[in-house]
A and B are shown apart, each in its own frame.
Chain A
Amino acid sequence: MNIHEYQAKEIFREAGIPIPPGEVARSAEEAEAIARKFGGTVVIKAQVHTGGRGKAGGVKLAKNPEEARDIAQKILALVIKDLPVTKVLVTPAADIATEAYVGIIVDRASKRAVFMVSPAGGIDIEEVAAKTPEKIMRHAVDPRYGLQAFEAMEMGFFLYDDVKQARAAARIMQQLYRAFTNSGASLAEINPLVTTPAGDVVALDAKMVVDDNELDRLPHVESLRDESSEAASEVEARKANLTFIKLDGNVGCVVNGAGLAMATMDLVKYYGGEPANFLDIGGSSNPEKVVSALRIITSDPGVKAILFNIFGGITRTDDVANGIVTATRANPLQVPMVIRLTGTNEEAALKILKDNGFSAMTDMDQAVQKAVSLATGKAA
C-alpha cells in the first residue's frame, strides 16, 4: 500500500526525524490560508501515489499567498498518470546547500532490509545506480541487531565530511529504520535529505510503501489508506478479496491463481488481443467472488469479450460455474464470454453450464484464441 508524502512525513516526524512544517490543503483557498500562516515563499506539492510529480507540474514554488492560491488551483486540477490530484501539501520553501539520498528497501537478493545512501540526492536513485554506482553506499541490516550506531556513522561519513552533519545523518538513519520496521514498510525514502546554509540536516521529502501483508496487524497504518487516490474498480475488487489490476485492453480475464492469470494475459497478447485486466479470484471458490469479478469487468467499456480460465486444484470448478450462472442471471452480459475450465469437479461444472445455456472449453489455447477473435472481430 502506498501512503502520501504528508502521511510519511508525519510518521518520520514522530520517529524524531527533522522535517520542516507543512499542512495539507484540499482547495485553493485552504492553500492560500496555509501559505499566509507560514509567510514567505512556500512549496506546493501534489499528493499522488506516483513518482515524477515534478516533471508533471505537480510541484511548484509560490512567492505569496495569492500566488499559492492560483498554483494550488492548477495543481488540484491535474491528473498525473491517471491519478487525479485531490490534495496538496503546502510547506515553507527551504534554502538548500546540498542534497543527498537516504532509502531503505527489502532486498530480495540479500533477504534483508538494505540501506542505500548517496550524496547525489534530489534525482532518481535508479539513474544514479545505473550511471554512477560509486556514488551509492549499501548496507544490509542484520534483523537480529538492527542498525548499529557505528554502521549508521559509516553511512553518515559517506554523505558528509563534517562530523556534526555525519552524526545528524546517522541519527536520522536510525530513526528511519525504526519508522520502517514499526510501520511494516517495504520501502522508506528521504529524497532529498538536505543541508541548509546554516548546516542543519533536514528531510525535505518522504516516501513510504507498506507491505500489504502487514496491514492486518497494523490498523494504525491501514487507516492511512486513501481510497480516493485509487481506481474505483480496484477498491471494489479489494473489498471482494480479489486481486485486480486494470489495463487498457479488450479481453477481460477472470483466472484463478496469479501465475496462470499472468500467463493468460500473455496468451491473449500472443494471439493478437490485449488483456483488459489482471484478475485473480484466488484459491477458494466462493461463487460470490465470481459475481463480483464479473461486475467489475463488465463495468469497463473497453472490454469486448470476457475470458474465464480456471484450473481447478483447490478451486472447485462447479463453484465457479454456479457463480457464472448467478451473476449472468442477475445482470445479463452485453459482451460475449468464453469459458475454459478444467480440474476439480469438471463434469459437474460442465453440466451446470450446459443446463444454463453456456458452453465451455477445456483447452486454454483454444479458449484464448476464441476470446481474442470475439473481441477483435477477426477470425481465430
Chain B
Amino acid sequence: MSIFIDTDTRLLVQGITGRDGSFHARQMVEYGTQVVAGVTPGKGGQKFDDKVPIFNTVSTAVNETGANTTVIYVPPMFAADAMMEAADAGVKLIVCITEGVPVLDMTRVYPYVKEKGSRLLGPNCPGLISPGKSKVGIIPGRICTPGRFGLVSRSGTLTYEVVFQMTRAEMGQTTCVGIGGDPINGTNFIDCLAAFEADGDTEAIVMIGEIGGTDEQDAARFVREKMTKPVVGFIAGQTAPPGRRMGHAGAIISGSAGTAAEKMQAFEENGVGVAKRPIDVVQLLRSLN
C-alpha cells in the first residue's frame, strides 16, 4: 500500500500547456501515472501530446474523465482560484506545486477546501510519489524505489538528497510526500504521520522539517501520543539567523520561536530519532532493526 496516491489515481493537470506543466506532465506520464486530463482555459477540445484531452474548466474535466486528483502548475496570482475551482469540482486530492502564492489568499483557500471535503497538499511543494505506482508533482522518479519507509518533508531538493541516500542504501519507500515550505499549507506533518501509521506497508517514517512555526513540535508530540511506528527526523536551518526568511516563505525564526534547536529538542523529548546530518537518517533507520 501507500498513502494518498496509488495505481487508482486518475490525474488532472491544471496548467498542462504551460512551460512547467507540460514538462512535468510528460515526466509523470513516463513514470506511469494515469494522466487523464488537462485544463487550460481557451484550449478545451485540444489534446496534449496527441493523447491527453484538454478542457476549459476543472468541472468538465472531472465529469468527462473521472479525475480524482489534480496537480496545479499555474502562476502564483491564479493559484488560489485554481485550488478553489478544483475543490468545487469535487477533486479529492489537490496538489499545488506553485511557489509564491500570497499568504492572505491561503487564509481563504484553506477553509474553502476543507469545507468541500478535499485534501490540499502545498502550495510551494514538490508533490508526492508512491514509487512504482504513481507520481504527482516534480519529485524525480529515478531517485526513489519501492519499499517500507514513509517520508514527509517541508523541502524539495533536501528531500531528494535524503531519498536518494535511502535508495542507495536499499531502503525503499511506500510514499514520499512534500508538504511545502509556506506558512499556511493544506496538509501538515501530523496528517501525513497519521496516514503512514494507518498504512499497512509502512514500517517506519522519516520526517524532514526546518525552522519556522511549530508544526514539527506538534508532530513530535503526536508521535509519542498516537503512533506505534518509529519516526526519525532531520531539521534544516541550525545556522539560520533569526528574523530572516530562508528561501521558503515559512522558514523564518520569529523572535526566539521556531528555531532548529527547539524542534530537535522536541524530537528528542518525544522519542523521534534525531539525525544531525542528512546522511544520519540512513544510520538511524538501520539501527531500528
Indicate the member of A113, A214, A261, A270 with the most B CB atoms within 10 Å.
Answer: A261
Q: Are B76 and A262 in contact (CB under 8 A)?
A: no
A181 to B278, CA, bound (A): 39
Q: Which residues of B contact A268 (CB under 8 A)?
A: 239
Question: Which chain A residue shows the least CB distance to B23?
Answer: A314
Question: Which chain B residue shows the least CB distance to A259?
Answer: B155
Cβ-based interface call for A56 (8 A):
no
Q: Which residues of B contact A112 (CB under 8 A)?
A: 107
A216 to B105, CA, bound (A): 14
Q: Are A243 and B247 in contact (CB under 8 A)?
A: yes
A residues 300-339 touching B (CB-CB < 8 Å) = 311, 313-315
Cβ-based interface call for B184 (8 A):
yes
A247 to B238, CA, bound (A): 13
Question: Which chain A residue shows the least CB distance to B211?
Answer: A262
B108 to chain A, nearest CB (A): 5
Cβ-based interface call for A257 (8 A):
yes
Contact of B154 among A109, A259, A269, A311 (CB under 8 A): A259
Given contacts A216-B76, A261-B247, A313-B157, contact A266 B238 (CB under 8 A): yes
B131 to chain A, nearest CB (A): 15
Q: Contact flags (1/0) for A170-205 with B, using CB distance below 8 Å?
A: 000000000001001010000000000000000000
Contact of B156 among A186, A213, A243, A259 (CB under 8 A): A259
Cβ-based interface call for A287 (8 A):
no
Q: Are A262 and B246 in contact (CB under 8 A)?
A: yes
Contact of B139 among A144, A269, A313 (CB under 8 A): A313
Q: List 27 A-B contacts (CB under 8 A).
A: A108-B250, A181-B104, A211-B249, A212-B245, A216-B77, A257-B155, A257-B247, A258-B247, A258-B248, A258-B251, A259-B155, A260-B157, A262-B158, A262-B239, A262-B251, A263-B161, A263-B234, A265-B239, A268-B239, A275-B239, A311-B157, A311-B160, A314-B138, A343-B143, A344-B140, A364-B278, A365-B279
Cβ-based interface call for B207 (8 A):
no
Cβ-based interface call for B71 (8 A):
no
Cβ-based interface call for A256 (8 A):
yes
Q: Are A258 and B181 in contact (CB under 8 A)?
A: yes
Given contacts A245-B241, A247-B241, A270-B277, contact A213 B101 (CB under 8 A): yes
Cβ-based interface call for B102 (8 A):
yes
Q: How many A-B residue pairs have CB under 8 A?
A: 157
A313 to B106, CA, bound (A): 27
Q: Which residues of A contact B248 (CB under 8 A)?
A: 258-259
Q: Which residues of A contact B234 (CB under 8 A)?
A: 263
Interface size class of A (residues with CB under 8 A): 35 or more
If over half of B's interface residues share one DSSP class (helix, strand or loop), that class is named, otherwise mixed; here it is: loop
Q: Are A262 and B210 in contact (CB under 8 A)?
A: yes
Q: Are A259 and B157 in contact (CB under 8 A)?
A: yes
Cβ-based interface call for B244 (8 A):
yes
Q: Which residues of A contact B183 (CB under 8 A)?
A: 106, 108
Q: Are B104 and A258 in contact (CB under 8 A)?
A: no
Cβ-based interface call for B208 (8 A):
yes
A155 to B251, CA, bound (A): 31
Cβ-based interface call for B29 (8 A):
no
Question: Which chain B residue shows the least CB distance to A186?
Answer: B103
**Chain B: how many interface residues by the 8 Å CB criterion?**
59
B residues 200-237 touching A (CB-CB < 8 Å) = 208, 210-215, 234, 236-237
Cβ-based interface call for A59 (8 A):
no
Q: Which residues of B contact A365 (CB under 8 A)?
A: 277, 279
A364 to B158, CA, bound (A): 11
A residues 191-231 touching B (CB-CB < 8 Å) = 211-214, 216-217
A residues 256-295 touching B (CB-CB < 8 Å) = 256-263, 265-270, 275, 278, 280, 283
Q: Are A111 and B107 in contact (CB under 8 A)?
A: yes
A235 to B102, CA, bound (A): 22
Contact of B76 among A126, A213, A280 (CB under 8 A): A213
A158 to B247, CA, bound (A): 38
Q: Are A259 and B111 in contact (CB under 8 A)?
A: no
Q: Which residues of B contact A213 (CB under 8 A)?
A: 76, 100-103, 249
Q: Which residues of A contact B84 (CB under 8 A)?
A: none
B15 to chain A, nearest CB (A): 15
Given contacts A181-B104, A259-B248, contact A109 B214 (CB under 8 A): yes
Q: Are A261 and B246 in contact (CB under 8 A)?
A: yes
Q: Are A278 and B107 in contact (CB under 8 A)?
A: no
Cβ-based interface call for B130 (8 A):
no
A217 to B77, CA, bound (A): 8
B74 to chain A, nearest CB (A): 14
Cβ-based interface call for B153 (8 A):
yes
Q: Are A258 and B246 in contact (CB under 8 A)?
A: yes
A113 to B181, CA, bound (A): 19
List 3 tightest A-B contacts by C-beta distance, closest first: A259-B155, A258-B247, A257-B157
Q: Which residues of A contact B213 (CB under 8 A)?
A: 108-109
B72 to chain A, nearest CB (A): 15
Cβ-based interface call for A143 (8 A):
yes
Indicate the member of B103, B239, B241, B260 with the most A CB atoms within 10 Å.
Answer: B239
